[in-house]
Chain A
Amino acid sequence: MSDRKPKNIFITGPISPSFIAESIQKHSTQKAIGGHSIFLGQVRADETEGGVVSAIEYTAFEELAMDNMHVIREDIFAKYPLTCMHVYHSLGSIAAGEICLFVFTSSAHRKAAMDACEETVERLKAELPVWGKEIIAGATHQWKVNK
Chain B
Amino acid sequence: MQVKVLIFGQLTDITGVSELQLNDVSDRDELITALNRQYPGLADSKYAIAVNKQVINENIGLTDNSTVALLPPFSGG
Contacts and interface: CB of A to CB of B under 8 A. Distances in A.
Interface of A: 41, 58-61, 63-65, 67, 89, 100-101, 121, 124-133, 143-146
Contact of A63 (B10, B53, B73): B53
Given A63-B53, A64-B53, A131-B8, A145 B69 contact: no
Interface in B37-77: 50, 53, 69, 71-77
Interface in B2-27: 6, 8-10, 13
A41 B71 contact: no
A89 B69 CA distance: 21
B10 A131 contact: yes
13 contacts: A61-B69, A61-B71, A63-B53, A101-B76, A125-B77, A129-B8, A129-B74, A130-B74, A130-B76, A130-B77, A132-B75, A143-B72, A145-B73
Nearest to A100: B77
Secondary structure type dominating chain A contacts: mixed
Secondary structure type dominating chain B contacts: loop
B50 A132 contact: no
Contacts of B71: 61, 129
Interface of B: 6, 8-10, 13, 50, 53, 69, 71-77
A14 B15 CA distance: 28
A1 B37 CA distance: 44
Contacts of B72: 131, 143
Contacts of A145: 73, 75
Contact of A101 (B9, B13, B77): B77
A58 B69 contact: no
Nearest to B67: A63
B53 A67 contact: yes
A61 B77 contact: no
Nearest to A128: B76
A38 B6 CA distance: 34
